Structure 1
């Protein structure tokens, strides 16, 4: 049996004598033998193999179909290698057929099924320890069971258990089930927030080559552990609240780099409806929408890069009182958001606490340039930016007034700095200058540094 890797796949002179004289004969793939993949269910493999069988192909169309099938199998992430071999069926050598029968061999090398990783992270005055583990191809159908645990010196913790499985053996659609317990310090609002619950979602392809998520969340949120200096608004908003919601999210990323893109665009849209049971007075009830976009373009052989970002969101309570809860409100400001403000310190406040808002709009434009006399491949860039953002509570008697203020009365900052585009994350050190702020906000003049993968 001649075995040919997918990367070099071709039908050579192994086709029986006479094929070269009659290129009009179609080819048929009569059977496929699977070698390897002992932990993988036959039903999963057959979903991607059987559509190849008993169909007339030309040599070119067969190779394309085989390549697409093997690519789908690779996308599950459970194989180190997937290869396909073709040969003429023995019955063809002495038969007078009006087609050429072929036999295929699918060669599979399974990846390691169990992965465990532990470690520590040190940074920004915090020391954390983490442990992650996963079992791939759990039941032979490309399922994955994973667990993550993380604790740090700031008394923050996160525990997650996740199960992911393809839907009907599809390499495109999957079902995702997550149970989680997280505790986070919200220093900007003088409280600790604990979230316990489940998330169920279906994930698949969306328009423009993006990804679509449709799901349900059921979370119990606890706002507690308040310090003595906590404001009246935070104390009033403390306690437990239960959120039962459905959501839809679309995202597309056409940039050429996750950390520091120089060309392309990305877009994310998310909508959520919570507490849709009208007789359940204890549920959180709202409609919420959020949008993010980034457009990047380079000039002069990528010596100059221009980036424009915009984000916006709206939270509308479905309760007659118009009440919203701290865990559901928007918080913006900081080195990864509107620069020139302390983390999540832009918008409404009570005493020293930022209490969030129900409507926000933020925009940013950044100009990056290479350092003079430094190699083109250097990850260092000069950075010039201007940011503007507004975060407000909604005036339910006149919502249009809120939206006008969002656009016409933004807080503004500008600055200059340097970035380092590491393969893992992007580091920024900027000198920021707040230009226009509201009395309730917490601007930050001077040096500000940020670390992450997403910046305004």
Structure 2
């Protein structure tokens, strides 16, 4: 009886395997519905399917896999409706000279609308915006995308951008895309008593590493920044950096996200790193530095059945801003002190909860003036809300987080050792002063406990962003830092 049952269960799988191994070759392939798309875009995707090398000794399984890969490449172009219809017919119906294993394939594509207009509200890290956008697809028939965007909000008073992008090597598995973006914005920074006006142009190449979930972005950016609209109470540090600044930089972003849910992770991990190099040699500009950031996060479910939908998560962020050595600066002068435009800020409802925006780190009077080295970490416990569905987007959470943000010290004897880099002499620092100052900043970072806060709250994971309503209590607070005891609201897409 057992052997008969095994035969009944196994036979369908055996038949399926035999069908996949049946000989099949593609005799002719036709694409329908791509009326606004250039053939030069589609040929690299479909031509390999009908090549002699691909059809030599191919089977039904091989043809199916090649069609599936081509379908995925079409989906990633962003100009067609997903899952195109594919029809297979015996080639002998139209060409008696073909072999019995030859098939004709017809692929029916449906192009997405060429223009898409949106208007609504948007949420980011600790701010909200009203926006309008216009997306133009397949602008010149090569899967180009033109995105025009305008917004106004609580912190970014106005922002206008235009981005034109096009695929590079669409037949590859890298999803490579080249983009040119221009941006104009005015952002209020109340934690430092000023407004920043930004005009920038960025050339960007984004691609995915083959056979992995990792993505890379390479950028060149030229940005004119202006610190303006200073408050009457603005500190001397902010006033010293007021005015114009030009940054010319190269930037690399690496991102790998293996979590099951980025907003409510139950398991998995994520890695993100950013490296920026400004003012090196021919790049020019009036700021010169290297800036590195690393972000790690992980989550794991708790095993007992009564802890269903309960997970333990942790996050770590590190960053360093290092002024370039004199030999690397195009002007030949000493490395300049870092500017408030480029320094890190830390604290707020989306990173170190329980502190005000920019509440951690160096302050000059009421102003958060940022730092050059930071470390922040968190641990949190996500708990299900009683009487909610297992896949509910609502959770309770308990958290504890902390961090330190410090400024590089000017250790040069002639500059009044101990002065912060933001108040260094206009002539800049030499290489030895920079090295000693950064070593001092790192020593300060690990000396003594970090500023810490803990609390509890409720989390809602919307497809657009994550919402948190927390009650926080600062436990360790340094002089000058600004904690937030009580209720704090966080809205964003990237939380510590």
Aligned to 1:399: 438
Structure with the largest fraction of helix = 2
TM-score normalised by the chain length of structure 2: 0.82
Q: After TM superposition, give the deviation of residue 127 of structure 1 in Å.
A: 7.9
Deviation string, structure 1 residues 387-445 (Cα, Å, up to 9, x no partner): 11010112332533322332343111111222223333222122211111211211121
Deviation string, structure 1 residues 150-191 (Cα, Å, up to 9, x no partner): 124667110000001001334611101100001100000000
Equivalent of residue 84 in structure 1, options 81, 86, 92: 86
Aligned to 1:18: none
Q: Is the 8 A contact 1:210 1:251 kept in 2?
A: yes
1:269 and 2:251 equivalent? Answer: no
Deviation string, structure 1 residues 75-132 (Cα, Å, up to 9, x no partner): 21211141222222128975585x7222211111111110112235799998854210
TM-score normalised by the chain length of structure 1: 0.89
Aligned to 1:297: 300
Aligned to 2:370: 356
Alpha-carbon RMSD: 2.6
Q: Is the 8 A contact 1:80 1:109 kept in 2?
A: yes
1:60–1:435 distance in 2 versus 1, CA, 3 Å: same
1:73-222 pair list within 5 angstroms: 73-81=74-82, 82-90=84-92, 94-95=96-97, 100-119=101-120, 128-152=129-153, 156-170=157-171, 172-206=175-209, 208-222=212-226
CA–CA distance in 2 between the matches of 1:376 and 1:271? Answer: 40
1:423–1:145 distance in 2 versus 1, CA, 3 Å: closer
Aligned to 2:400: 386
Q: After TM superposition, give the deviation of residue 29 of structure 1 in Å.
A: 1.1
Unmatched 5+ stretches in structure 1: 1-20
Aligned to 1:253: 257
1:339–1:145 distance in 2 versus 1, CA, 3 Å: same
CA–CA distance in 2 between the matches of 1:414 and 1:150? Answer: 34
1:37–1:375 distance in 2 versus 1, CA, 3 Å: closer
Q: Which moved more, 1:124-133 or 1:323-332?
A: 124-133
1:439 and 2:440 equivalent? Answer: no
CA–CA distance in 2 between the matches of 1:273 and 1:143? Answer: 29
CA–CA distance in 1 between the matches of 2:246 and 2:20? Answer: 68
Structure with the largest fraction of strand = 1
Aligned to 2:425: none
Secondary structure (helix, strand or coil) at the match of 2:345 reads: coil
Q: Is the 8 A contact 1:141 1:169 kept in 2?
A: no
Q: Is the 8 A contact 1:189 1:353 kept in 2?
A: yes
1:70 and 2:71 equivalent? Answer: yes
Q: Which moved more, 1:395-404 or 1:427-436?
A: 395-404
Aligned to 2:317: 311
1:107–1:350 distance in 2 versus 1, CA, 3 Å: same
